[in-house]
Amino acid sequence: MKFKIDGFVLSIIAVIGIAYVFPYWGTADSGVPIDTIGTIGISLIFFFYGLKLSPSKLKAGLKNWKLHLLVQASTFLIFPLIVLAFYPLIQNEEQQTLWLAFFFLAALPSTVSSSVVMVSMAKGNIPAAIFNASISGIIGIAITPLWMGFFVQNAGTDFDFTEIYTKLVLQIILPVVFGFFLQRYWGEWAQKYNRSLSFFDKSIILLIIYKSFAGSFEENIFGTVSFVDLLILFIAVLGLFYLVFLITGFVAKKLKFNTEDQITAQFCGTKKSLVHGTVFSKILFGNMASIGVILLPLMVFHATQILILSIVAGIRANRPVAPKPTEVV
């Protein structure tokens, strides 16, 4: 089986390299309106997201509620509770920042496009994957800030729920709702040009990543993180992914899901959205100097989930699949 390195992962690495060599462009003194471009770009990303939400598919997706409950519980409960268990082990400020970065990763919603693609590759329940990935992003708008609110204040940042949710409403919720109501008119256009819209999404995300890491490099934030802590970070990312993957698989078997639903539960329940992560980091943490460190576990996790699930999807795809008269969502 051939394995192809994800181009977006390579783009992220390149952008971080550019931020390291040319951090000045991402600072407020440079005069480049990255914040303004990012804010407008975020709103457009979620407007297009709303255009792609199909009311009929969302309604049909409610039928398989056990599968959906497992996926959302994995995304918003199992992930955060696992990371929360390690909170008492924090010994210094650097570890506090790294733990907060992991908790931010754990509190994020699932991703849409790669979840559906991976489930499709593995011959899983594709309609259920579309439903869960779509609804996860909507739930995350409310749940992720609530989880983070318990700990961000302890990290020395100004976390004002009123300000945070005002930004969420203006930059995310209203564009999603606006796009959703225009879906009947422009939905087909959004699907037709999905590739171009995806390119736009990734461009905005790369811009936000550059801004985040440029600020961290300019302030030499990574110089305060020891090599041992970074090594622990990489190991912890792998451990977190595998632990949740095993838990969702175990629960799916106990609930007697068929093979297609087990695949969807594991593939959607272990994914975290880099799009939502970079967007939420901009809103939740603002111009916090260590925002590059906050995003680091998420980007490592993003590359890890694509690598591992691509391999697993290839293996699952080779199993014999019996034809079905009807497809259950």
pLDDT at 309: 80
Q: Which of 271, 275, 148 is nearest to 208 (CA)?
A: 275
pLDDT digits (tens, 9 = 90+) for 146-185: 898 888 765 545 555 566 667 777 777 788 789 888 988 8
Residue 111 lies in a domain: yes
**pLDDT exceeding 70 applies to what percent of the chain?**
84
DSSP annotation of 122? T
CA pair distance 267, 274, nearest whole angstrom: 15
**Structural domain that includes position 93:** 32-315
The answer to whether the beta carbons of residues 254 and 179 sit under 8 Å apart is no
pLDDT digits (tens, 9 = 90+) for 102-146: 999 999 998 766 677 778 778 888 778 878 877 888 888 889 888
Residue 20 lies in a domain: no
How many structural domains are present in the chain?
Answer: 1
Separation of first and last alpha carbons in the chain:
30
CATH number for the domain that contains residue 267: 1.20.1530.20
Q: Which of 211, 303, 266, 298 is nearest to 3 (CA)?
A: 303
| Angle at 187 (CA atoms; ends 268, 67), nearest 5 degrees | 20
Query: DSSP for 231-296?
Result: HHHHHHHHHHHHHHHHHHHHHHHHTT--HHHHHHHHHHHT---HHHHHHHHHHHHTT-TTHHHHHH
pLDDT digits (tens, 9 = 90+) for 277-327: 888 887 777 666 567 778 888 888 887 787 788 778 777 877 766 555 444
The answer to whether the beta carbons of residues 168 and 139 sit under 8 Å apart is no
Residue 1 lies in a domain: no
Residue 19 lies in a domain: no
Q: Assess whether pLDDT exceeds 70 at residue 86.
A: yes
pLDDT at 280: 84
Burial of 253 (0-12, 13-18, 19+ CB in 10 A): exposed
CA pair distance 60, 212, nearest whole angstrom: 39
Q: Assess whether pLDDT exceeds 80 at residue 255.
A: yes
Residue 17 lies in a domain: no
Q: How many angstroms separate the Cα of 248 from the Cα of each of 127, 152, 214, 261, 262?
A: 19, 28, 37, 11, 8
Residue 25 lies in a domain: no
Residue 321 lies in a domain: no
Residue 219 lies in a domain: yes
Q: Which of 210, 202, 213 is nearest to 275 (CA)?
A: 202
DSSP annotation of 90? -
